Every structure is written in C-alpha cells, then in structure tokens.
A and B are shown apart, each in its own frame.
Chain A
Amino acid sequence: MLYYSLKRFALALLVALTVSLISFSLLYISSDPAIAMAGETATDADIEAIRQLYGFDRPILVQYFDWLQRALAGDLGQSYYFRTNVSALIAERLPTTMTLGVTAILFAITLAVPLGVAAAIRPNSLIDRIALFLSVMGQALPSFWFALMLIVLLSVNLRLLPTSGSDTWLHLVMPTVVLGYYAAPAIMRLTRTGMLEVLSTDYIRTARAKGLRPPVVLFKHALRNAIIPVVSLAAVQFGFMLGGSIVVETIFALHGAGFLAWESITRNDLPTVQGLILVFSLFYIVLTFFADLINAWLDPRIRIN
C-alpha cells in the first residue's frame, strides 16, 4: 500500500513537472510576453524595457529552470501584471474557488448518489428514467448555457438570486448548481452501475437470505462496496472543479483562481499561470492520494494487499 502510494505520488509529481514545462513552452512560443504585458498602447521602448527587466531575452530553458529553482524554494515569483507576489495572489483567490468547489462537489454527491442508488434498486422504473434523464441533461448541457438560463430565470425574471459576485452565500447558489450539476452524471451512473453489480452478487443474496433488513443490506453491505470507484471519481471531479471552474467563475464574476487562470493566460502573465498550474496539479495529486486512503479504509482488501 505504502509502496503503491509512493509510486503513484512520484508519478504524479513527474506529471506536474511535465505539465509545467509544456505549459511554460507553449505560453512562451504563442507570443512575446513583453508585448502582451506592455499592452496595445505601449511603445517599442516600453516593450524593450520589459523584455530586459524580466529577462525574456534569455533562452526559454534557462528561464524555465530559473523559475523551477525558485518554485522549489517556495517562491513563485512576481505577477507580471499585478506586480505582486504570485503566492499571495493565488492565496487571495483560492478561498472563492475552494468554497465553490466544496459546495459544488457536495451538491453533486447529494444529488447523484441517492439517485444512483434509487435507480439501481428499481432498474428501468420511473425513478431510473428520471435519473437517466437528469444525467443525460447534465452531460449534454454546456455549463455556460445552463448558467445563462439560470441567470435569466432566477435573477432577471424572478429576481430571487443575485446575478453575479460572491458577497453572500446567495451569490454561490447558482454557480454551485451549475458546477455541481456538470459533475453529477458521472457519479450518478457509476453509483448505479456499481450498485447493480454488487446487488447481484452472492454475498448480498446471502445477506438477504439471513433476513437482514433491506436498509442494512443496501447501505452497510452493498453501497460500501459500490462506492469505492465513486470515491476515486469524486476526487478527480473535485480536482476538476478547483482547476476547471473557469467558465463558471467568469460568467458569475467570481474572482477565484479559475478566473485568474483564464485572465493570466490571455495576459501572458507567465509566473501566475505557472503558479496556478502547479497548485492545480498539486490538488490532483493530493486528492488522488486521499481517494486511495479512503478506498483502503472502505475496502480492507486494498490495505492487506
């Protein structure tokens, strides 16, 4: 278990490193960061000054290793755009993204797991059809469309919720629903499939034959086994929500890390983009690691192996 985890961890770190090198190169190759930073109204003198100030005239590999060395020492550098410390900038934006990510994954699990279980108990019933409909909708609806529809209905027409911003918990309702609903179908379908599979196994038949009450069979024996792949999936989905809430954050004007990532990419703010990529990669690594631990706790066989 420990060896397996360490191996996974090392592999994930390698992935993070590769991703950062590739993203660094792509950002650099796509255009001259000095011009992007200087803005459309800048003169040649401004651009040249920026180029020298930030060392953009050096070879890209030298720039990358310079960044890496400092990043490993905990210094993510200065944002080219905001002229502030990248770590501080990310730390300032992260709470919004984390809050949204946590509420969205909770919403997704609360919606998807009970529906998945219900659908598995009564396959092909009305509830199964509703679950199927909801999951197909969740996957088919582009999140930007869904977000705009909610805004039109709940903010513009009914005036029940604020349109954008993050001042109160009410501001988080629509973003949570949009982001969570996007993650729900996969969790729902996996719960349903897992439950169907487990419910047809011998030990469940035995449990039922012993006369155990249906809820005990369902939740203590069946769900505990069926939920294992769902935990891994939810971890990945959570990671996706933290790093991939760009569309939702942009539409709802939430100034989180996702919006910062998008804005930084368009501004060629390399240190901020690199810092965010590092943070998002670390999220995946940590979440995957925790998913393994939870699975080991749920299934003793993983621990023993």
Chain B
Amino acid sequence: MNFSLSKAQFFLLLFIIQTGVVYIAFQTPLIIYSQHSAWYVFFLASIFHYGLLLFFERYYQFFFLNGFFRWVYLIYWLLITAVLIAYMGYVLASWVLPRTPEWIVVMMIVGLSLYANLVRPETIINIGVMLIPIIFLFVIFLMLAIPDLTWSNLFPVEWNNTRQIMAGMIHSMYAFFGIEMYLLYRPFLKQDLQVKGKPLLIYQLVIFIFYFISVVFTQMFFALEEVQLIPEPIMYILKSQEVNFVKRLDIFFIYIWLSWSIVTVMIYGLSFRVLYLSKKRKHPKRSIVFFHLLLAILPLFVMQFQRIEFIKNSIHYVLIVFTILLPMMIICWNKWRGKRVS
C-alpha cells in the first residue's frame, strides 16, 4: 500500500472516522450519567482527547505492531465495524424502513464498502470531500432549534459530584473512538509536513465545536427525564423543526447520516487493508472479500433491541482499552526496546 496523504486529507479522514456513526447517539448516555453537568464534563473530556492526540503525535513512530497485536487490532476493527453496521441498520429500521429485511440493508452497506475497497485507496481517502458541505448542512439546520432552547438546563454548575463527573467522562469516550487511526495513518503523511502545533489544534477545535454544539443543544432542548427515553436526540431535534419548504427534516438527515456512516465503514475497511497488507500477501483481493463477507454476516446477530442496548452500555470500556490503554502500552514498550516504524 503506497499512498501519501496531505494534511487536509489526513485530518478529513480522521474527522470522518471519529464522528461517523456516533454523532447522533452519543449525547444520550453522556447526559444520563452526568445530568446537568454534561456540558462541562464533555469539555474536560475534549481536553483529555487533545492531550492524547499530542501524545500520539510525539510518539507515533513507536507504534509498531508485531504479529500478535496486528491480529488483535484486525479482529477488533472487524468487530467494531460489525457493531457499527448493526447499529446503522437498527436506526434505519426504527426510523425510516420498518419492513425491509435487515440483511438487505446490511448487504447494501457492505457491498458499497467492498466496491470502494477493491479500487485504489485514494478513492476512499477523497470521497470524504463530498461530505463536507453535508456536514455544514447538519450544523446549520441544528441552529434552527435555537428558539426552543431553555438555557436554564445548563445550570447549576456543580463541581462536588465526582462520581457523576467520572461516569460522564467515561461515557463521553463514546464520542472519540477511532483515535488509534491517527497512529495508523500518521506514517503515510508526507514527511516534511508539520502537524504538531497549529494544525492539530485546529483539528481539535473543529471536532470539539462540532460535538459541543450537539451536546449543548441536546441538553438545552430536552428535559432530563425525556433524554433517557430518546436514543437518537439529534434526529429528534431535527424532526421537531419545521421549515417552509419541507416538513420532516429528519427523513433527509437520516439519509445524510447514512451516507456519512457508509464512508466511515469504508475507512475501516481501508484501515483493515492497510494493516493486513503491510506485509506482502498472496491474494490481497480475496482477503478483502472475505473480510467483507464476515462483515455482512456478523451484524445480523446483534441487530435487536436488547443486544444493541447491551452493547451500548458496555462498549465504552472496550474503547478505553483499545484506543487508549493498548496504544500507550505498545508505544511505551517499543520505546523501551527502541523499535520504530520504518
């Protein structure tokens, strides 16, 4: 796999992978666990995220995966992508497509990802560009909800409830998974480009503002007891806005979110490709097809209400292990041993 990324492409890739599927749903667990302090808990979590990014930027050369950890990450990505696809199918089925059999939706998503992964890698890297105006649309239409916001939901600002704050921080990790892709794609960035400093700060600010607006709006728009009942608050907010020329905005935005999430799934497929094919293999195309076949079968087992709820309640622990603890361990170990990524 030889391709090189420019700064814009690299950060776009990261942005799409991080915001992908979770954008409409991560606010609910965060607000349930941190109640009225959700917004500043999220602020703290973003600072932590920035610190993590700085740490990765400094030590990315030491993220060398030997055989065992390579398979760990490959399987982890396979499972995460399967869960994401199951969640996408579930949301589609409950919001817009109640009768379509689930395997058709899963097949479509997997089929698109397969098509995109069989052609050159630059295709997936650049397809995110077409999503940029769509993301702006999302934010602009969210702004329509401003007259209905109650500012008093943000207060009181209390600092004494440490249990709440810790629970909130753990649940906000939901919003930031995909960070380990930074370590995977950083070596592909052209060597002489400067990432530390301003570009990283700009990226962090962009992702922070994007997420923060959604958290704050959700908190201000809904009552606390109401949020517990709504798994996709952003879609709900959009559903209750009325515009002159169309009536139900959420129908459009569910599909916009779907196209965005499909690109996220494609990028996971690309990451699998990059990691798997970093060693010379005999039949690269076959392994990609096999990966996608697994991806088409696994989601069907979890696409039910109770299983999705179970996964939603436990996935942040998995994320903490794989995106924070494991890379740190690997980096420290390799630094001690002196092994670098060439």
- Does A associate with B in a complex? no
Residues of B within 8 A of A (CB): none
Residues of A within 8 A of B (CB): none
